[in-house]
């Protein structure tokens, strides 16, 4: 056996599994399965299958997921840098599929880093609704934000907060909540030997305390009739069936939705917690366990918790008279600017200069504060900047009008010299630790707007007035991803609406956006950011 398993873990699994124990242990002699998930924000599954550089085999429980052969290096292909797929452990693709996400919903990924499940949620939403993705670790949110940006997500807010503080700002707000709970990690021992080594210090008991609090708080953020999917990558019944039984006893308005077993998922085992729990909660048989000896993936547990619906009683402190959320008691110094939306109309004026002052409710806005009207420039929310809000936004507005063919939704948010398009009204994020308030569009540098890399990778070629296409089979694409300047004739450029060739150019690989360049006199100056570049030899 290649993996050195903790003795206490092996003893417990032998007691629990009985006749299945030998098959379970034999799985540790097998190589972990590798998978990728197609990013349908950028490419349909059928199109990717036609051009895939890898041999693909479908993952039964995820229609966008595929096994790839062992030894394949999907991170060393230009398509990875273009965000066409996410490299993900196959079992980890299952929880999001069970959320049953519909477009226009508000979805929370509560324990999200490094962001694989968040990008999967975003693909389900297809640019509609809201994705709030959070991790309590500041260091881990760096990878989370980068993955959200790499995969072209336009409608996500990235937070670095505790669940309690998010709940204070968003009571009964989300249609769907994913809890990929921190756990003892037993299901990942085959894939990550360090987790086996750390198992005794990262104890089941410590994890149970965290999971209990996370579930409790998540219930308070779920809308009536909403759904929570709770998942772990551990086998410990205390963190799985035991945790769900405890939740159900405290929340009589939730049901367990049985997980289909067609994909080879095993049933829950409430009897492993106790015979009393098994008798009191037979519905726990409808939770799911993914076993490495039964499916081609690592160990997981999944429970689908459905709220039964019906009105809840909220305190006056949670709601305003309109039914919208009250502004947080903690406010950043902000004021909202009024600008034209680029079509002769003007957005509603709202000014906030201090604590306790909220903007007026705008037309076309639902009770979540989402601006349902599409416009080039939405409502603006400005944090104090060295230059005036009007000056900061003027260069951005000019760039959008002159360089892009895209209809921007939501609210234009300015933090210092950084400009974002946010799916949330400005006051919703006050007092929270915000890593990204929305789609990062770029920065204002002394009156000149500099478009961001996340803006580029989320655009379609038709949304930029200049673009250039590189071939993934040509060394030129890799040279671009390494940050080199390229020689590009003007004849190769795609120019729209009589645009001049000089200026910012969307660089695409096989027709899929990968970043910016600046073309002038036959040379494409590379704008690919240093921290994102191809680093392999």
What residues act catalytically?
Answer: 233
Alpha-helix residue ranges (DSSP H) falling in 251-369:
275-280
Q: Please tell me the number of Cα atoms within 13 Å of 15 on its side-chain side.
A: 12
- Estimate to the nearest angstrom the gap between the alpha carbon of 37 and the chain centroid: 14
Q: Is 256 helix (H, G, I), strand (E, B) or coil?
A: strand
- Tell me: cis bond preceding 420? Omega within 30 of 0 counts: no
Nearest-angstrom CA–CA distance, 286 and 266: 9
498 is in an annotated binding site: no
Strands 503-509 and 466-470 turn out to be parallel
Other CB atoms within 10 A of residue 338 CB: 14
113 is in an annotated binding site: yes
Q: Which two tokens stand for residue 9?
A: 């873990």
529 is in an annotated binding site: no
* CA angle, residues 402, 382, 166, in degrees to nearest 5: 115
| Cβ–Cβ < 8 Å for 509, 79 | yes
| Cβ–Cβ < 8 Å for 74, 48 | no
194 is in an annotated binding site: no
Alpha-helix residue ranges (DSSP H) falling in 72-115:
78-81, 94-97
Q: Is 107 helix (H, G, I), strand (E, B) or coil?
A: strand
The DSSP secondary-structure symbol of 359 reads: P
| Cβ–Cβ < 8 Å for 335, 352 | yes
Q: Which two tokens stand for residue 291?
A: 């076993």
Output the CA–CA distances (angstroms, integers) from residue 313 to 127, 172, 224, 246, 317, in the order listed. Answer: 32, 11, 11, 23, 12
263 is in an annotated binding site: no
26 is in an annotated binding site: no
- Estimate to the nearest angstrom the gap between the alpha carbon of 418 and the chain centroid: 21
- Estimate to the nearest angstrom the gap between the alpha carbon of 322 and the chain centroid: 30
Q: Which two tokens stand for residue 350?
A: 């709202």
- Tell me: cis bond preceding 28? Omega within 30 of 0 counts: no
Handedness of CA 219, 225, 226, 229 (dihedral sign): positive
Nearest-angstrom CA–CA distance, 209 and 302: 18
Q: Look at phi and psi of residue 419 and say left if phi exceeds 0, alpha if psi is from -120 to 50, else beta.
A: beta
**H helix and E strand count, the chain:** 15, 26
324 is in an annotated binding site: no
114 is in an annotated binding site: yes
344 is in an annotated binding site: no
Nearest-angstrom CA–CA distance, 140 and 269: 33
Output the CA–CA distances (angstroms, integers) from residue 108 to 111, 122, 157, 219, in the order listed. Answer: 9, 11, 10, 12
Alpha-helix residue ranges (DSSP H) falling in 226-369:
241-250, 275-280
Handedness of CA 494, 497, 498, 499 (dihedral sign): negative
Q: Specify binding-site residues.
A: 111-117, 135, 180
Residues in the annotated binding site for S-adenosyl-L-methionine: 111-117, 135, 180
């Amino acid at each position: 056996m290649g993996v050195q398993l903790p003795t206490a873990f092996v003893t417990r699994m032998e007691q629990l599994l009985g006749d299945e124990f030998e098959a379970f242990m034999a799985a540790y002699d097998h190589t972990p399965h590798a998978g990728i998930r197609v990013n349908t924000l950028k490419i349909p599954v059928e199109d990717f299958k036609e051009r895939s550089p890898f041999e693909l085999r479908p993952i039964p429980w995820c229609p966008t997921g595929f096994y790839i052969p062992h030894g394949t290096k999907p991170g060393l292909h230009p398509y990875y840098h273009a965000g066409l797929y996410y490299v993900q452990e196959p079992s980890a693709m299952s929880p999001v599929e069970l959320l049953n996400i519909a477009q226009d919903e508000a979805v929370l990924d509560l324990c999200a880093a490094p962001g694989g499940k968040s990008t999967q949620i975003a693909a389900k939403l297809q640019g509609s609704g809201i994705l709030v993705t959070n991790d309590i670790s500041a260091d881990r949110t760096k990878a989370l934000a980068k993955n959200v940006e790499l995969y072209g997500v336009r409608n996500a807010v990235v937070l670095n907060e505790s669940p309690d503080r998010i709940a204070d700002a968003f009571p009964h707000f989300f249609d769907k909540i994913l809890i990929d709970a921190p756990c003892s990690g037993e299901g990942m021992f085959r894939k990550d030997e360090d987790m086996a080594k750390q198992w005794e210090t990262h104890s089941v008991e410590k994890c149970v305390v965290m999971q209990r609090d996370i579930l409790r708080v998540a219930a308070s953020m779920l809308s009536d009739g909403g759904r929570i999917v709770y998942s772990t990558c551990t086998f410990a019944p205390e963190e799985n069936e035991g945790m769900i039984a405890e939740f159900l006893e405290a929340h009589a308005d939730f049901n367990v939705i049985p997980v289909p077993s067609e994909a080879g998922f095993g049933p829950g085992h409430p009897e492993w917690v106790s015979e009393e729990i098994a008798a009191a909660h037979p519905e726990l048989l409808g939770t799911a366990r993914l076993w490495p000896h039964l499916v081609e993936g690592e160990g997981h547990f999944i429970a689908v918790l459905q709220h039964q619906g019906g009105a809840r009683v909220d305190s006056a402190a949670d709601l305003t008279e309109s039914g919208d959320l009250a502004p947080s008691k903690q406010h950043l110094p902000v004021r909202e600017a009024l600008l034209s939306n680029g079509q002769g109309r003007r957005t509603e004026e709202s000014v906030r200069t201090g604590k306790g002052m909220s903007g007026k409710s705008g037309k076309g806005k639902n009770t979540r504060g989402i601006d349902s009207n599409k416009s080039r420039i939405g409502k603006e929310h400005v944090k104090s900047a060295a230059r005036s809000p009007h000056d900061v936004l003027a260069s951005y507005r000019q760039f959008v009008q002159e360089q892009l063919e895209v209809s921007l939704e939501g609210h234009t948010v300015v933090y210092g010299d950084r400009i974002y398009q946010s799916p949330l009204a400005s006051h919703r994020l006050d007092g929270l630790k915000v890593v990204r308030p929305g789609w990062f569009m770029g920065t204002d540098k002394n009156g000149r707007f500099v478009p961001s890399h996340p803006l580029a990778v989320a655009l379609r070629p038709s949304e930029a007035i200049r673009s250039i296409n590189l071939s993934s089979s040509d060394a030129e694409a890799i040279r671009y991803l390494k940050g080199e300047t390229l020689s590009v004739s003007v004849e190769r450029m795609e120019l729209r609406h009589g645009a001049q060739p000089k200026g910012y150019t969307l660089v695409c690989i096989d027709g899929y956006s990968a970043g910016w360049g600046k073309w002038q006199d036959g040379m494409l100056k590379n704008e690919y950011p240093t921290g994102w570049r191809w680093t392999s030899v």
